[in-house]
């Protein structure tokens, strides 16, 4: 029998943003935390009877609710302060100083709630050369050094979508920091400020390749090393039908199986594969060989073997083809206290593997937006027993604390 998700009972106040901040909040929500997003009030639209809450651009909204708050009014700021006094975690996605100007910075909120974990994230370092500048994933990767590692020999550095800085080095690192601070709170009884930035996060993730630059494993320059496309048996190859196969046959026993599956045995490659002068010849041979059959035909050859040769699968086929490992699951399996499910209809008996609960719209393949103010009034009742009219009211589309509230 499975128990509640690991972060059940943790209340998180997430200020609305895009990409990294909402991703950290989604990771907390998937682990069972109660997430209340604070959106910007829009007069005549948010928290207005008869009006559908306007959708925001954020798609990382599963398991979350929203309130639109009028932060231009002192009573709106007061409402957020009262919520922060009850919360366990704050997520601040803004550039330095934005919440401080509203009186919602860490000094103020930690005075109200010493157990609060105040998580905040920036792109560049708060104390660095670029701290006052705008930027995006590619810029943070660039100044971190990580971007210099990415790309083919003779080509310019190439960014990998916005995976490495925004999400891995940003949102996921902030999530880790929040968890560490919650663990520390068990010992100290106090919360603290958690600061993450995407430059340091991306750089930390690049620890191994950065160290490899000073070894034969990575000292040949971008795109010319064992693990970055320079080596013939660690690369991708196009097939007859325009698909691709990935090859990662690093160990000699795996390389031998690869050569056998490709029908290239008996040509001496097993003994000569480390002769770098012949790498272009071997890569050309691999290219021609893989193009002689379709991807499905190569799958039939290598599936079930240790040749380290697998198809490059696209998300559309993972989403639609039975038998592929395409169902979205929690990032980690907790046997006793599973995270929440993403795929709809997850069987209770498989909760530890696929997550517990009914799943979410889109099942991890299609994002859905959360309207500004959607579900927030119900969440306020859950958190604090608050009701509209008694404890708070609507001012210009945003919630504000009632002047004579009994809170």
| pLDDT tens digit sequence for 350-403 | 898 899 998 998 999 999 999 999 999 999 999 999 999 999 999 999 999 997
Could you give the CA distance from residue 161 to residue 341 in angstroms, rounded to a whole number?
26
Do 233 and 249 form a contact (C-beta atoms < 8 A)?
yes
Q: Is 6 within a domain?
A: no
Using pLDDT thresholds of 50, 70 and 90, give the confidence band for residue 212.
very high
Residues 152 and 278 in one domain: no
Residues 30 and 132 in one domain: yes
Sheet bearing 309-311, strands edge to edge: 234-238, 244-248, 309-311
Residues 181 and 245 in one domain: no
Q: Is 221 within a domain?
A: no
Range of the domain at 308: 234-319
Nearest CA to 391 out of 162, 381, 382 is that of 381
| pLDDT tens digit sequence for 137-172 | 999 999 999 999 999 999 999 999 999 999 999 999
Using pLDDT thresholds of 50, 70 and 90, give the confidence band for residue 252.
very high
Residue 344 has pLDDT above 90, yes or no: no
Quote the pLDDT of residue 404: 61
Using pLDDT thresholds of 50, 70 and 90, give the confidence band for residue 405.
low
| Backbone φ, ψ for residue 147 (5° rounding) | -65, -30
Could you give the CA distance from residue 206 to residue 203 in angstroms, rounded to a whole number?
5
| pLDDT tens digit sequence for 44-100 | 999 998 888 888 899 999 999 999 999 999 999 999 999 999 999 999 999 999 999
Using pLDDT thresholds of 50, 70 and 90, give the confidence band for residue 42.
very high
Strands 64-69 and 89-92: unpaired
Residues 263 and 388 in one domain: no
User: Which CATH number goes with the domain that contains 242?
Assistant: 3.30.1540.10
Residues 250 and 198 in one domain: no
Q: Which of 319, 353, 383 is the last residue of a domain?
A: 319
Residues 312 and 243 in one domain: yes
What average pLDDT score do residues 326-339 get? 93
Quote the pLDDT of residue 53: 83
Quote the pLDDT of residue 293: 98
Using pLDDT thresholds of 50, 70 and 90, give the confidence band for residue 286.
very high
Q: Is 222 within a domain?
A: no
Residues 305 and 173 in one domain: no
CA 339 to chain centre: 15
Residues 295 and 190 in one domain: no
User: Which CATH number goes with the domain that contains 108?
Assistant: 3.40.50.10540
Q: Which of 289, 319, 349 is the last residue of a domain?
A: 319
Q: Is 397 within a domain?
A: yes
pLDDT, the chain, mean? 94
| pLDDT tens digit sequence for 264-277 | 999 999 999 999 99
Where is 11: in which H helix or E strand?
strand 11-15
Residues 155 and 245 in one domain: no
Catalytic annotation, residues: 166
Residue 114 has pLDDT above 90, yes or no: yes
Q: How many structural domains does the chain have?
A: 2
Residue 347 has pLDDT above 90, yes or no: no
Lowest model confidence (mean pLDDT) among 25-34, 284-293, 298-307, 346-355? 346-355
């Amino acid at each position: 029998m499975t128990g509640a998700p690991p972060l059940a009972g943790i209340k998180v106040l997430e200020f609305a943003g895009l990409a990294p901040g909402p991703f950290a909040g989604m990771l907390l929500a998937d682990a069972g935390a109660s997430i209340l997003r604070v959106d910007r009030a829009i007069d005549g639209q948010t928290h207005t009877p008869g009006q559908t809450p306007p959708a925001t651009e954020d798609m990382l909204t599963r398991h979350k609710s929203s309130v639109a708050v009028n932060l231009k009014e002192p009573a709106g700021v007061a409402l957020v302060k009262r919520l922060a006094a009850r919360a366990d975690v704050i997520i601040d996605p803004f550039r330095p100083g934005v919440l401080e100007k509203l009186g919602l910075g860490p000094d103020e909120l930690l005075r109200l709630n010493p157990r609060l974990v105040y998580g905040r994230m920036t792109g560049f370092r708060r104390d660095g050369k670029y701290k006052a500048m705008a930027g995006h994933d590619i810029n943070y990767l660039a100044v971190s050094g990580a971007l210099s590692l990415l790309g083919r020999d003779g080509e310019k550095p190439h960014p990998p979508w916005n995976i490495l800085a925004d999400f891995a080095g940003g949102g996921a690192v902030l999530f880790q920091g929040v968890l560490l601070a919650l663990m520390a709170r068990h010992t100290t009884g106090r919360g603290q400020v958690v600061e993450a930035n995407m430059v340091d996060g991306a750089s930390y993730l690049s620890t191994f390749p950065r160290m490899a630059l000073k070894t034969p494993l990575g000292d040949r320059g971008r795109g010319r090393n064992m693990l970055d496309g320079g080596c013939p048996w660690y690369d991708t190859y196009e097939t007859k039908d325009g698909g691709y196969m990935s090859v990662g046959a690093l160990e000699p026993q795996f390389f031998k199986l690869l050569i056998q599956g490709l029908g290239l045995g008996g040509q001496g490659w097993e003994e000569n594969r480390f002769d770098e002068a012949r790498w272009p010849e071997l890569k050309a041979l691999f290219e021609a060989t893989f193009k002689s059959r379709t991807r499905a035909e190569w799958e039939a050859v290598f599936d079930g073997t240790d040749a380290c040769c697998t198809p490059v699968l696209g998300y559309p086929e993972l989403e639609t083809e039975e038998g592929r490992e395409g169902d979205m699951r929690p990032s980690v399996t907790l046997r006793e206290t599973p995270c929440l499910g993403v795929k709809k209809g997850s069987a209770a008996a498989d909760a530890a593997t696929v997550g517990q609960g009914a799943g979410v719209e889109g099942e991890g393949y299609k994002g859905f937006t959360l309207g500004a103010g959607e579900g927030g009034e119900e969440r306020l009742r859950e958190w604090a027993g608050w009701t509209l009219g008694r404890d708070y009211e609507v001012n210009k589309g945003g919630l504000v604390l009632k002047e004579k509230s009994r809170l």
